[in-house]
Structure 1
Amino acid sequence: MATLADLRRIAAALPGSEERAMTGGAAWFVRNKLYAWECHPWPSIPADMREIIASELVVGVKVAEPLEARALVQMSPDVFLRETTRWSEPKVAFRMAAIDDDHLAELVTEAWRVQAPRYLRRGFDDIPTAG
């Protein structure tokens, strides 16, 4: 089970990433572009999804294409929420309690890539990895 602390650790390692406190919870930006956020049960969210968001930690991330979001939901409907709102499309929301650390790292990093400028992505890709 992934936690908000795990998300914070992953985001902190991404160049140019900045955490901000928002009305609905924490949100992460790269060069003022939102890429990940704690979901809040806003009235505009369908009632069944709002119930899930109100009862557990749900995080949203940007994705490159709407098809990617739909594929994730279809592959793992127990992890990914069907829909939240049309704001910040394309995106996908997922239950933190149902996601493992590796998948969380992949989702957050890819969301950062969607929003990060090319020079930050290149610099990140040039960082040698341990192992």
Structure 2
Amino acid sequence: MATLDDVRAIAAGLPGSEERATTGGVAWFVRRKPFAWECHPWPSIPADVREIVATELVVGVKIADRVDALALREMLPDVFLPATTAWGEPKVAFRMAGIEPDHLAELVTEAWRAQAPKYLQREFDDAAG
């Protein structure tokens, strides 16, 4: 099962990434914009989703496009939760127990790209070769 330490390790390799403790747990930011976060069962979340978030480790990530978020939810409905709140859309929340390591790395990196300025994206791409 993937853990927050896995997210932490991926985020650590992304330029400008910063981890912060928030009222809802841990979150990762780039230039003060959140790109990944630990989900908590806030009252504003629909009851069925809130029950899952209360009993499992769930992480949310920023997504560049609403269509991509819908596709992920349809492709793996047992992993990706239905919409949580309207705040921060487009985004997806997923069960860490069901996510594959490569997919986790892709989700966190793409979430970072959705929030990172172009110069940090170029820095990352140049370092990757």
The aligned counterpart of 1:68 is 68
Per-residue CA deviations over 1:30-62 (Å, capped at 9, x if unaligned) read: 010110000010001000000000001000000
User: Aligned partner of 2:119: which letter?
Assistant: Y
Quote the offset at 1:6 in angstroms. Answer: 0.4
The aligned counterpart of 2:38 is 38
Count of matched residue pairs? 129
The aligned counterpart of 1:53 is 53
Structure-2 separation of matches of 1:97 and 1:13: 22
CA RMSD of aligned residues (A): 0.7
Quote the offset at 1:83 in angstroms. Answer: 1.1
**TM-score by structure 1 length?**
0.97
Per-residue CA deviations over 1:84-105 (Å, capped at 9, x if unaligned) read: 0000000000000100110000
The aligned counterpart of 2:83 is 83
User: Aligned partner of 1:25: which letter?
Assistant: G
The aligned counterpart of 1:10 is 10
**TM-score by structure 2 length?**
0.98
Q: What SS class does the counterpart of residue 102 from structure 1 fall into?
A: helix
The reply on whether 1:115 has 2:115 as its aligned counterpart is: yes
Structure-1 separation of matches of 2:91 and 2:50: 16
User: Aligned partner of 2:77: which letter?
Assistant: P
User: Aligned partner of 1:97: which letter?
Assistant: A
Quote the offset at 1:128 in angstroms. Answer: 3.5
Alignment gaps of 5+ in structure 2 = none
